[in-house]
Amino acid sequence: MKKMIIPKTKEYILRFREVNSDIFIAIKNGKKKIETRAATKKYQNIKTNDTIVFICASSRFKKKVKKVEFFKSVGAILKKYRPETINPNTYTTKEAYSMWYSFPGYKEKIKKYGLIAISLE
């Protein structure tokens, strides 16, 4: 009998500032199925079937990663996804840029590393 090789999955932590608790809740409730981050070294190794632990203040929950995609820029990700798919409160391209660039240091990080889009189950 052949041995089945089960790929190792990892668990990653994504933290939310309390000011962004609405997004945290939208992910928890399944309204937001794609989470994006600047694709820094911290997030570059996230793979399909890994688990993400979402934390905001004292609340936490887990979701499984369905798919991971990398994009070179905000423009590139918006060619594939509508803004409201990524953030239920964002409807225009202008709002999407403002959202990403509102996070501390994100404009520079996105320019250097691009974006990672994490599709959640």
Give residue-wise pLDDT tens across range 88-103: 888 999 999 999 999 8
pLDDT at res. 88: 86
pTM of structure:
0.88
H/E stretch holding 85: helix 83-86
Q: What is the mean pLDDT of residues 25-50?
A: 94
Confidence tier at 1 by pLDDT (50, 70, 90): low
Locate the DSSP E strands across 17-104: 34-38, 51-56, 59-71
Residue 79 scores a pLDDT above 80: yes
11-120 is classed CATH 3.40.50.2300: no
pLDDT at res. 9: 84
